Amino acid sequence: MTQPMITRKSDSQIQQDVLQELRWDPRVEETEVGVEVDNGAVTLSGTVSSWAKRAAAQEAAHRVAGVLDVANNIQVKRAGLLVRTDTEIAQAVRRTLEWDVLVPNQRVTSTVTDGWVTLEGTVDLWSEREDAERAVRNLASVRGVTNQLKVTLPPPGRLPDEVRAAIEGALERQAEREARHIQVRVTDGRVRLAGRVRSWKEKEAVLGAARYTPGVREVDDQIRIDPEV
């Protein structure tokens, strides 16, 4: 069967679609964000009041079909009554980690400097590392997050071939079409994913398969988005 031809969007059309997506997303003030597009690569600029809004704008841009890459140059500036002291932010971080059942909070510590949060400690899964950052970035007055959480060593006897087989099995279950285009390499718990997918949604499905696999300490994302795959 002949595959239908895929027509690439022009940069101007992608720009308009990203702006429309920003207007649609209630987490983002569209007027605060500037959008430029060069050969499918989107650059976001402007100033917002929280790290959560910055991340939401990035996610909105990635959702748009035709977007290949996103450079997020949005700045976070704390303003007005929302400003908390670093001590107050640190206390809020601790409460948030304690309430989040997906994060081993007793093994995670934080340092807050001028609104910037640094997370340190150890977790068992790569997904827990990302869950901790996601929880913290949504707090008021947080200007940014540096995630230095380390994933513990793979279980004894869990060989690279076993980790790779587990990831490939997850890919077959969760992202069957994408699995045919992805190469998986595992070295000492570090996973390198390479290949091409058609959209950001497909890329997230592939990365998700690795994030939840026991024994994965680090993910090297070399996946490219190519609508013509």
Domains in the chain: boundaries: 11-76, 83-151, 160-225
Q: pLDDT per residue over 47-100, tens digit each?
A: 988 888 899 999 999 999 889 899 999 998 876 656 789 999 999 999 999 998
pLDDT at 1: 44
Mean pLDDT of the chain: 85
Task: Look up residue 218 and give its DSSP letter.
Answer: E
Which of the following CATH numbers is that of domain 83-151: 3.30.1340.30, 3.60.20.10, 3.40.50.2000, 3.40.50.10490? 3.30.1340.30
Is the pLDDT at 105 greater than 70? The verdict is yes
Is the pLDDT at 127 greater than 60? The verdict is yes
pTM exceeding the 0.85 threshold for the entire prediction: no
Is the pLDDT at 112 greater than 90? The verdict is yes
Task: Look up residue 30 and give its DSSP letter.
Answer: G
Residue 130 sits at φ, ψ, to 5 deg, of -75, -35
Considering only the top CATH level, what class is 160-225?
alpha beta
With bands split at pLDDT 50, 70 and 90, how would you rate the model's confidence at 198? confident
CB 216 within 8 A of CB 185: no
pLDDT at 156: 60
> Which of helix, strand or coil describes residue 149?
coil
Return the CATH number of the domain spanning residue range 11-76: 3.30.1340.30
- Which residues contact residue 224 at a Cβ distance below 8 angstroms, ignoring those fewer than 6 apart? 68, 195, 196, 197
Q: pLDDT per residue over 10-46, tens digit each?
A: 999 999 999 999 999 988 887 889 999 999 999 999 9
What distance, in Å, lies between the first and last C-alpha atoms of the chain?
A: 16
Say if 11-76 and 83-151 have the same CATH topology: yes
Give dist(CA 137, CA 146) in Å, integer: 10
pLDDT at 35: 95
With bands split at pLDDT 50, 70 and 90, how would you rate the model's confidence at 154? low
Give dist(CA 37, CA 69) in Å, integer: 10
